Structure 1
Amino acid sequence: MRNSVIGSIILHVLVSAAALLWLLWYFIPVGPVLKGMVTVLVVALAAWLTWKSCRRQDSGAEKGAQSFAELPPPDTQGPIVLVCGDGLDALFQDQTLRKTAQGCWLRVGDVARLPEVVRQILAQQPRQTGQLSVMYICLPDQHRDEAVLRESLKVLRQQIRQTSTLTGFTLPVVLSCKLSGPVTPWVVVRGDKPVVSPADEAPVAFVDWQQTGENLLTLPLLSQAYAFIRATLLDELEKADRLNPPVHPFAVALRTGAASGEDASVWSHWLYRRTCLQLPPASERQEMNPRFPDAVLPLLSPFASPVQGGQRTRCVLLLLWLCALAALGFSALNNAALIRQVSADLQRWAAIPMTHYAPKAHSLADLKQDALLLERWQRQGEPLKLSLGYYPGQRLWLVLQQAVDTYVPEPPPKPVPVPKIVRLDSMSLFDSGKAALKDGSTKVLVNALVGIKAKPGWLIVVSGHTDNTGSALLNQTLSLQRAGSVRDWMRDTGDVPESCFAVQGYGDSRPIASNDTPDGRAHNRRVEISLVPQADACRLPDIKTASSELSGVSTQEMEK
Structure 2
Amino acid sequence: MRKSALPRAAFPVLICLAAALWVIWGFLNVSVLVNSVLTLTGLMVALLLMCSCYRRQQPAGQRIDKRVSPPAGFTGPVLLVCGDIDDHLFVQGACRTTAQGCYLKVGSTDQLSKFADHLLAREPGMAEQLVVMFRCLPDLHKDEGRLRVSLKELRQQVKQLKNLSGYMPPVVLVGEFSGPETPWIVIRGNTPLFFPTDEPAQTLEEWRSLPENVICLPYLSHAVSLLQQVVMDELTKADILCPVVTPFAVVVRSGAVRSEIEAIWPQWLFRHTKLLPPASSSTYPSLWHFADPVLPLLAPYAMPLQGGKTWRLVVMFLLFCIVSALGLSVLHNQSLIGRIAADLQRWYAIPMTHYAAKAQSLQSLQQDALLLERWKRQGEPQRYGLGLYPGERLWLSVQQAIDTYVPPPPPQKPKLVPKIIRLDSMSLFDTGESDLKSGSTRLLVNSLVDIKARPAWLIVVSGHTDNTGNPKLNQTLSLKRAEAVRDWMRDTGDVPESCFAVQGYGQSRPIATNDTPEGRALNRRVEISLVPQANACQLPGKPSASSQDDGVSQHNGE
Same fold (TM over 0.5): yes
Once residues 68 and 199 of structure 2 are traced to their aligned partners in structure 1, the CA distance between those partners, rounded to angstroms, is 30
Q: Aligned equivalents of 2:175 and 2:335: distance in 1?
A: 67
**Residue 103 of structure 1 pairs with residue 110 of structure 2:** no
Shift of 1:290: 0.5
Alignment RMSD: 4.9
Q: Which residue of 2 aligns with 1:292?
A: 290
Displacement of 1:271 after TM fit? 1.3
Give me the whole-angstrom Cα distance separating, in 2, the residues matched to 1:136 and 1:448: 122
> Residues 95 and 527 from structure 1, CA distance in 2 versus in 1: closer, same or farther, beyond 3 angstroms?
same
Letter in 1 for 2:164: L
Which residue, out of 260, 265, 287, partners 1:267?
265
Q: Map 1:376-415; keep pairs closer than 5 Å.
A: 385-386=383-384, 400=398, 403-412=401-410
Name the TM-score, length of structure 1 as normaliser. Answer: 0.68
Check whether the contact 2:159–2:242 (CA below 8 A) recurs between aligned residues.
yes
Structure 2 Cα separation of the partners of residues 289 and 308 of structure 1: 32
Kindly state the Cα deviation for residue 358 of structure 1 after the two structures are TM-superposed: 7.2
Q: How does 1:164-175 map to 2 (within 5 A)?
A: 164-175=162-173
2:452 is the counterpart of 1:452: no
Asked if 1:53 corresponds to 2:60, the answer is no
Partners of 2:166 and 2:243 in 1: CA distance = 15
Q: Would the aligned equivalents of 2:27 and 2:325 in 1 still touch at CA under 8 Å?
A: yes
Give the corresponding residue for 1:83: 81
The code of the aligned residue for 1:211 comes to S
Give the aligned residue type for 1:246.
Answer: V
| CA distance 1:454–1:128, shift in 2 (3 Å) | farther
1:556 aligns with 2:547: yes
Residue type of the alignment partner of 2:298? L
CA displacement at 1:491 relative to structure 2: 12
Q: Distance in 1 between matches of 2:138 and 2:480?
A: 143
Instruction: Answer whether contact 2:194 2:202 (CA < 8 A) is retained.
Output: yes
Partners of 1:295 and 1:4 lie apart in 2 by: 38
CA deviation string 1:402-460 (max 9, x = no partner): 64354221434668999x9xxxxxxxxxxxxxx99xxxxxxxx99999812489xxxxx
* Superposition pairs of residues 40-439 of structure 1, within 5 angstroms: 42=42, 46=46, 49-50=49-50, 53-59=53-59, 63-65=62-64, 70-93=68-91, 95-199=93-197, 201=199, 203-212=201-210, 214-284=212-282, 286=284, 290-343=288-341, 345-346=343-344, 349=347, 360-361=358-359, 363-371=361-369, 385-386=383-384, 400=398, 403-412=401-410
Q: Could you give the per-residue CA deviations for residues 194-232 of structure 1, whole angstroms, max 9, x where no partner exists?
A: 233334555444433333461222122111111221222
Alpha-carbon deviation of 1:354?
Answer: 5.8
Give the match's secondary structure for 2:13: helix
Q: Please report how far the alpha carbon of residue 321 of structure 1 lies from its aligned counterpart in structure 2 after TM superposition.
A: 4.4
- Answer yes or no: is the 8 Å Cα contact 1:153–1:233 preserved in 2: yes
Q: Cα offset for 1:490?
A: 12
Query: Do 1:196 and 1:205's aligned partners in 2 also have CA atoms closer than 8 Å?
Result: yes
Change (3 A) 1:353 1:240: same
Deviation at 1:37, TM superposition (A): 7.3
Between 283-292 and 237-246, the greater mean CA deviation after superposition? 283-292
Task: Kindly state the Cα deviation for residue 164 of structure 1 after the two structures are TM-superposed.
Answer: 0.6
Amino acid paired to 1:364 = L
Contact 1:98–1:105 at 8 Å: present in 2 too? yes
CA distances 1:82-127 after superposition (whole Å, capped 9, x unpaired)? 0000133332137211122322110001111111111111110112
CA contact (8 A) 1:199 1:290 kept: no
Q: Deviations over 1:129-155 (max 9, x none)?
A: 222101001111122232322221121
The separation in 1 between residues aligned to 2:13 and 2:286, in whole angstroms, is 53
Shift of 1:38: 5.2
1:483 matched residue in structure 2: none
- Compute the TM-score of the two structures, normalised by the length of structure 2: 0.68
Does the CA contact (< 8 Å) of 2:88 and 2:286 recur in 1?
A: no
Equivalent-residue separation in structure 2 for 1:110 and 1:162 (angstroms): 15
Unaligned runs of 5+ in 1: 421-434, 437-444, 456-488, 506-524, 532-539, 544-551
Counterparts of 1:250 and 1:177, CA distance in 2: 14
CA distance in 2, matches of 1:447, 1:16: 87
Distance change (3 Å), C-alpha of 1:414 and 1:277:
same
- Cα separation, 1, equivalents of 2:156 and 2:354: 79
AA matched with 1:165: N
Using the TM superposition, give the Cα deviation of residue 292 of structure 1 relative to its aligned residue in structure 2, in angstroms. Answer: 0.9
**Amino acid paired to 1:452:** I
- Cα distance in structure 2, aligned partners of 1:375 and 1:493: 71
**Paired positions, count:** 464
Which stretch shifts more, 230-239 or 255-264?
255-264
In the alignment, residue 458 of structure 2 is paired with which amino acid?
G
Comparing 269-278 with 345-354, which one deviates more in the overlay?
345-354
**2-side partners of 1:200 and 1:272: how far apart?**
33
Alpha-carbon distance in structure 2 between the residues aligned to 1:448 and 1:326: 78
Q: Are the counterparts in 2 of residues 335 and 389 from structure 1 also a CA contact under 8 Å?
A: no
Residue 21 of structure 2 corresponds to residue 21 of structure 1 = yes
Distance 1:527 1:308, change over 3 A: same
Alpha-carbon distance change, 87 to 36 in structure 1, aligned in 2, over 3 angstroms = closer
Judge conservation of contact 2:113–2:161 (CA < 8 Å) in 1: yes
Instruction: Write the distance in 2 (CA, Å) between the matches of 1:407 and 1:216.
Output: 101
Determine the C-alpha separation between the residues in 2 that align with 1:69 and 1:556: 116
**Cα distance in 2, alignment partners of residues 491 and 30 from structure 1:** 89
Structure 2: unaligned runs, 5 residues or longer? 419-440, 443-451, 463-477, 501-509, 513-521, 523-531, 534-544, 551-558
Alpha carbons of structure 1 residues 454 and 3: separation in structure 2 relative to 1, 3 Å:
farther
Q: Which moved more, 1:206-215 or 1:39-48?
A: 39-48
AA of the residue aligned to 1:54: Y
| Cα distance change of structure 1 residues 134 and 4 upon mapping to structure 2, 3 Å threshold | farther
